Amino acid sequence: MFENLSERLSGVFDKLTSQGALSEDDVKTALREVRVALLEADVSLGVARDFVKAVTDKATGQAVTKSVTPGQQVVKIVHDELIAVLAGDGADAGALKIDNAPAPILMVGLQGSGKTTTTAKLARRLKEREKKRVLMASLDVYRPAAMQQLAVLGTQIGVDTLPIVAGQKPAEIAKRAKQAATMGGYDVYMLDTAGRLHIDDVLMDEVQQVRDIANPRETLLVVDGLTGQDAVNVATEFEDKVGISGVVLTRMDGDGRGGAALSMRAVTGKPIKFVGLGEKMDALEEFHPERIAGRILGMGDIVALVEKAQETIEAEQAERMMRRFTKGQFNMNDMRLQLEQMLKMGGMEGIMGMMPGMGKMAGQAKEAGFDDKVLTRQIALIQSMTKKERANPALLQASRKKRIAAGSGLEVSELNKLLKMHRQMADMMKKMGKMGKGGMLKQAVK
């Protein structure tokens, strides 16, 4: 999967990384090529555009890291952005919700998408990996062969299927499956609904009926990854009409262009949970954005190199800062960095908790209403200061304070609080320096 896209991108990046210095034009040209490569891989226009914009913004805003070339740095940015596009906010990625036995899983999709095959693959996976007792039922009353197919697959993988009763409607079969799963002590029951060649109202009505009976924990849409943009459109329609919890992209073993995988999350807001990689029963993989991004770019070495370099730089910066702090040089730029770190590290409580002897202060801070919103506001105040003021907060007299507070839409009293906190921190750091070797401080700035 992704061979073509991968090849195209590596062409672009080989050129970029072999150059020592890069002009803005070099990067622009490269990103234009990235955009074309994405479009050729059938990534939707909006997604490709947003992608390139995000990369451009990040590449422009980033300081050049020592010991890697700018090209290598761009590769890393593209890599991270790929993961972001594939993973979205990542909130609902990962395992299926199958607690509360028997947990119903509804399988939906167009005919020929690989729905029945995927149902069986997934059942096998739940049985083998999670030791679940699974019952599968086919609701495809239009094609007796489809029911038969599921029964055959069930026998093959050692998973039970609901006995076929001729003449029943999908809703009736769903009820029977629910009953059988409850009575039979199954952990999961899977409903393989009928597909059509195209989305139509009858199909949607039927799926809705079944959904309302089963009240599924997961509704997985199976789509053919080879159909590219269409797969994304189908997903959008199913999401609108039925509501889905995730997507399984099949035929990702083919030489498809893979764009569906890249657009899916951004366009539908739904995660890809699994990918189908062949006809065999074990050809199903969990979808890992990092792994896929790695495969698309095929530049793991460079990504690792840049990560390492960034870590080294951060450590050096921390050392330098520490030396200055212990000499009493702690200005507003440092303060801002500290505040940003605090936000990253779980706020005030998080960082105080890491500093020995400061647990109490964390408690006090909380009592005083010092939450993460305060941190954000304080950062805004620092942003409203001039360069000179940041370097030398002693300059901040009444008129300057008024200007700064107004500039960030906050009260002067809030600025005073920030200044007080700054003084306390500066003092504390100086003292710690005297106490020896900055051991505690090291934890705080890291």
Identify which of residues 16 and 277 has a Cβ nearer to ligand GDP in the complex: 277
Residue 294 C-alpha from the chain's centroid: 14
Give CA–CA dist 193/142, Å, rounded: 10
Q: Confirm whether residue 23 is marked as ligand binding.
A: no
- The candidate with the shortest Cα–Cα distance to 173, out of 199, 141, 129, is 141
Please identify, using beta-carbon distances, which residue of 193 and 338 lies nearer to ligand GDP: 193
User: What is the spatial distance between Cα 52 and Cα 27, in angstroms, rounded to a whole number?
Assistant: 11
Taking CB under 6 A as the rule, does residue 276 contact ligand GDP? yes
- How remote is the C-alpha of 121 from its chain's centroid? 25
Q: What minimum distance in Å lies between the beta carbon of 167 and ligand GDP?
A: 21
Helix (H), strand (E) counts: the chain = 20, 8
Question: Phi/psi of residue 275, each to 5°?
Answer: -125, 140
3 state DSSP class of 357: coil
Residues ≥6 apart with Cβ < 8 Å to 327: 430, 433
Known binder of ligand: residue 250? Answer: yes
233 lies in the binding site for ligand GDP (CB under 6 A): no
**Considering beta carbons, is residue 78 or 123 the nearer one to ligand GDP?**
123
* Binding segment toward ligand GDP, per CB under 6 A, in 79-87, 108-116, 126-134, 230-238: 108-116
Q: How far is the CB of 387 from ligand GDP (least distance, A)?
A: 58
Residue 191 binds ligand GDP, judged by CB under 6 A: no
Q: Which residue is nearest to ligand GDP (CB)?
A: 276
Return d(Cα 120, Cα 276) in angstroms, integer: 12
Q: Does 144 bind ligand GDP (CB under 6 A)?
A: no
CB of 114 to ligand GDP, least distance (A): 3
Measuring CA to CA, which residue among 214, 208, 201 is closest to residue 173?
214
Q: Is 279 in the site for ligand GDP (CB under 6 A)?
A: yes
| 112 belongs to an annotated ligand binding site | yes
Contact with ligand GDP (CB under 6 A) among 117, 245, 268, 378 = 117
Q: Decide: is 35 part of the binding site for ligand GDP (CB under 6 A).
A: no
Q: Identify the residue among 88, 195, 258, 433 touching ligand GDP (CB under 6 A).
A: 195
Q: How far is the CB of 194 from ligand GDP (least distance, A)?
A: 9
Q: How far is the CB of 111 from ligand GDP (least distance, A)?
A: 5
Decide: is 3 part of the binding site for ligand GDP (CB under 6 A). no
Work out which of 112, 158, 184, 363 binds ligand GDP, going by CB under 6 A.
112
CB 224 within 8 Å of CB 248: no
| Total residues belonging to the chain | 446
User: DSSP secondary structure string, 11-72?
Assistant: HHHHHHHH-SS--HHHHHHHHHHHHHHHHHTT--HHHHHHHHHHHHHHHHHSPPPTTS-HHH
- The values of phi and psi at residue 132, to 5°, are -95, 145
The region of 13-21, 83-91, 110-118, 324-332 touching ligand GDP under the rule CB under 6 A is 110-118
Q: Does 161 bind ligand GDP (CB under 6 A)?
A: no
Residue 278 binds to ligand GDP (criterion: CB under 6 A): yes
For ligand GDP, which is the closer residue by CB, 135 or 284?
284
- Strand ordering across the sheet containing 218-224: 160-161, 134-138, 188-192, 103-109, 218-224, 246-250, 272-276, 284-286
Cβ neighbours of 87 (radius 10 Å): 19
- Does 251 engage in binding with ligand GDP (CB under 6 A)? yes
Go through 2-23 and write b for each residue having 16 or more CB atoms within 10 A of its CB, e for each that does not.
Answer: beebbebbbebbeebbeeeebe
- Pick 115 or 377: Cβ nearer ligand GDP: 115
Nearer to ligand GDP, 115 or 265 (CB): 115
* Shortest Å, Cβ 14 to ligand GDP: 31
Interface with ligand GDP, residue 250, by CB under 6 A: yes
Interacting residue with ligand GDP among 65, 72, 113, 326 (CB under 6 A): 113
Least Å from the CB of residue 131 to ligand GDP:
24
- Which tokens is 206 given? 């039927």
Token couple for 161: 């299927």
Query: Would you call 345 exposed, middle or buried from its count of C-beta atoms within 10 A (0-12, 13-18, 19+)?
Result: middle
- Which residues participate in the annotated binding site for GTP? 109-116, 192-196, 250-253
Residues that bind ligand GDP (CB under 6 A): 109, 111-117, 195, 250-251, 253, 276-279, 283
